[in-house]
Structure formats: structure tokens, C-alpha cells
Amino acid sequence: MAIDYVMPKLAMAMNEGTINEWLVEEGEYVQKGQPLATIETEKVAYDIESSEEGYFHIILPVGQTVDCDTLIAQYAENEQELADLQAAGVPRVAAPAEDAATAAMPVDVTAAVTPVSSGGRVIASPLAKKIAADKQLDLRAITGTGPGGRIVKRDVLVALERGAARVHAETTGSRRELARIPMAGVRKTIAGRMVQSLQETAQLSSSWESDITDLLAMRRSFIVREEQLGSRVSFNAFLVKAMVYAIRQVPVVNSCLEGDEIVIYDTVNMGVAVSVPCNTACESSLAVAVLHNVEHMGVVEIDRGMKALIERVRTGQASADDLSGSTITLSSTAGLAPPGMTTTPVLNQPNAALLGPSTPIERPIVHEGEVAVRTMLPLSFTFDHRIFDGEPAARYMSALHEALEHPELLMA
């Protein structure tokens, strides 16, 4: 008896998933625990492992997105059962309707993309025309495989895969495209959440500078003991510790809005914005990794936890807990942005607050009554004005400023 394999629910908030890559071949005999596929969720991509053993029959093709618990594959006990499954032709995820005559025809993946006379009439199905128009493809450069040479949907998709020329790239010299990337998967999720965050919250950002000269000196004292500590403590670990110090002074910052109630958390689960490399011209996507219960950690423990967490996220090994439950967020561009630059970061919902430090800059300031060159850190603090007002926000920023300028407070 064949065993069904459904789209797994990898996190509480996961509603659907996309197959990025099958790691096994159709009909391959797989063992329990063997890597099966890479699944992309709203947050990150996961490698999933086989829960059974048997001959693997793939139903869901790469690139399709379906709800959790949707049938995506099956295990056959033997080769005969596999052949029966393949012959039965379990319906795949429904595709947009195409002409009945052309939908039944086999796909010729080797169809060439060749130019035709520009004066000739182009015969194409309505769906093929729509896709070509949306993707700005010149139908005259596509060979049709439908009846009578008609261009159908699959011909347009093949042309897209082969990089067929865009209409305006051929007809105008005003601009040339480097790439055209579908707004899908994680990128689409990020876009939706950014718009949702701005539309559903009353965001206000404030910027200032803190003198971190003494904090950097303290960090150097940790670096000297790197071998003893087992870690080269990052600057962000000190930032997280300073954020926790300030939360103790102003707890309402560590909160969210649930319906008509403001929930203030006793624990501090630090969300850390992580840039995750991807294979498109967008260069990277964004994930928020979560380090739990940082209020009980020292700087070295925070550093170790953050590095291990970020490594798991960037290598696709993150668990559901690694990507959920944040109560406040750190989004750092330090070292990437031009020195002295400030930003107005967008809230990571449902968090009420987010800190965005940028790249430090050395410049002369008045320090203890004298002009001295000090290292200044630009910071931006974005908060949800629905949850707390400017007065507690100002007190939080003052407490954070105090901790950064007097780092001995972090060791208490």
C-alpha cells in the first residue's frame, strides 16, 4: 500500500510551502532520514528529510506552492507499485486552464526559440498572449508547438527559461534590463510584510548618536581574551546587552499589541535581522532570527548564541523556534553603510520597537570639557506609537544611550 507524503507544516505560522528543489529523483529508493527536498516557507527555506523508506513518486513539481497537508509525493513498497502509481497519474497541482486541444499534447522541452518574419501573423492562445504580455516577451521570437504551429502556454514558459528577448529591449534603445525577477517566494513575503507593517502600525523613528569610544575599548579587552573565552565577541553582542539594560528601565518597549490589549513581555527574545544569500540579482533575502531569553545571558553567551543562530539560518538549518517569538528587533547595518548614515527601519511586526544602528564614525566632539576625537554610533529607534508614546520612547533611548556611553553598566 502506497504511503502519502504531504506538504509538512514546519512552523505554527506556516500555511503553505513551495518546493524549491527535489533532492531525489523520480522513482529513486529512499531511506528514512534521507534528504528529500528544499521547501521554502514564508520565512526561510528548509531541507526536509524522508519520514519513510520506499520508492519515491514525485507529484508536486519544483516551483509549485501549495497549502500544508497537500499531497506532494508518495512512497511505493516495490517497483510494481511504483509503476502503478506512475501509470495512475495522480493529478498534479492544477495549472491555469489552457485550450483543451493543446493541454493534452506532450510538452516539447527542446522547442527552439527562433525568430519569424515580423510581417507574419502570430497565432497564439489567449493564455500564451497574456503571459507574454505580462513578461514583455516578443511572441514573434517564439516557435509554437500547438496545432498548426500555434503558440501555447508551455512555449512561452520555455522561452522564459531560455531568456527570450523582451519586447522593449528589441524595439527601443532607451533602456536595457540586467534581470527580471519574479516577485515570489521569500521576496514576495518580505514585500507584503513591509507594506503591512507600514499600513497597520503608527510608526515613528528617532535618530541620535552615542559615544561608543569606551565601549569599543571594553570590547578590545574581550578580544584580547578571545582564546580564553572561545569567541571573538562581536559588537552586536554588546548592543543586545545594552538593549536589555534599557528594557529593564522601560519595560513597555518589549511588547506587542494583541487585539485591544498591550502585552508586555517579561522575557526578552531578541529578533536579529539576517541577510540570507539567494541566487537572484536581488542578491539576498531577509530573515529575522530569534535569540530567546537574552535577559539571562552575558555578553559572551549572547555572542555565541547569535553566531550559531545566524549560521543555522544562512545554511537552511534553522528550526521553527529560531524564526519565531521575537519581542524586540535589532536591525544592524554597521560596517555596511557609509559612516555616520542613519536610517528609519520598518518595524518587524508584531514587535513594538526596533533598533537600527549604523556604521560608527570618528569625529571631534566636546568630551569632559575638551575637544577630542571620539567614535560616534548613529542609531535609529522605530516604535509603534499606538502602544507607547514619545515620553517612554525618549526614556528608553536615554537609557540605551547611557548604557552605550558607560559600558560598565552592562557588566553589573
Question: DSSP string covering 308-356, please?
Answer: HHHHHHHTT---TGGGS--SEEE---TTTSPTT----PPP-TTBSEEEE
Check pLDDT > 90 for residue 138.
no
Compute the C-alpha angle 337/401/340, nearest 5°. 20
Q: What integer best gives the mean pLDDT of the chain?
A: 82
Residue range 387-391: average pLDDT? 95
Per-residue pLDDT at 186: 62
Beta-bridged to residue 208, according to DSSP, are 379
The number of C-alpha atoms within 13 Å of 21 and in the hemisphere containing its C-beta is 6
Cell numbers found for residue 114: 527562433
pLDDT in tens, 293-343: 999 999 999 999 999 999 988 887 888 889 889 999 999 876 778 888 888
CB of 66 closer than 8 Å to CB of 92: no
Cα–Cα distance between 91 and 61 in angstroms, integer? 11
The residues pairing with 38 across neighbouring beta strands, listed in sequence order, are 21, 47
pLDDT, position 315:
82
Higher pLDDT, 236 or 184: 236
How many CA atoms lie less than 13 Å away from 167 in the CB half-sphere? 12
Instruction: Tell me what pLDDT residue 45 has.
Output: 66
| Alpha-helical segments (H) within 204-249 | 213-224, 226-229, 235-249
Cα 159 from Cα 389, distance rounded (Å): 55
Q: Are 190 and 285 in contact (CB under 8 A)?
A: yes
Q: What is the dihedral of CA 236, 242, 244, 246, to 10 degrees?
A: -140
Percent of the chain residues topping a pLDDT of 90? 44
Instruction: Give yes or no for residue 211 having a pLDDT over 70.
Output: yes
Give CA separation, 344 vs 89, 194, 203, 331, in Å.
Answer: 53, 13, 10, 11
Surface-to-core class of residue 143, CB atoms within 10 Å of its CB (0-12 exposed, 13-18 middle, 19+ buried): middle
Prediction pTM value: 0.63
Would you state the cell numbers that stand for residue 50, as one nine-digit string? 524522508
For the residues 183-199, what does the mean pLDDT come to? 77
Q: pLDDT by residue (tens digit) across 77-110?
A: 998 989 888 888 654 444 334 443 333 333 333 3
Tens-place pLDDT, residues 219-274: 999 999 999 988 899 999 999 999 999 999 999 999 999 999 999 999 999 999 98
pLDDT value for 109: 31
Question: How many residues can be counted in the chain?
Answer: 412
What is the C-alpha separation between 365 and 217, in angstroms, rounded?
A: 18
Distance CA(268)–CA(92), nearest Å, equals 45
Site of grid cell 508584531: 350
Specify the DSSP class assigned to residue 138: -
Closest CA to 231 of 297, 304, 311: 304
Sign of the CA dihedral running 192, 197, 198, 199: positive
Q: Is the pLDDT of residue 290 over 60?
A: yes
Burial (CB count within 10 angstroms: exposed 0-12, middle 13-18, buried 19+), residue 155: buried
Domains and CATH numbers, the chain: 3-88 (2.40.50.100), 100-171 (4.10.320.10), 186-411 (3.30.559.10)
Look up cell 570590547; give the residue.
219
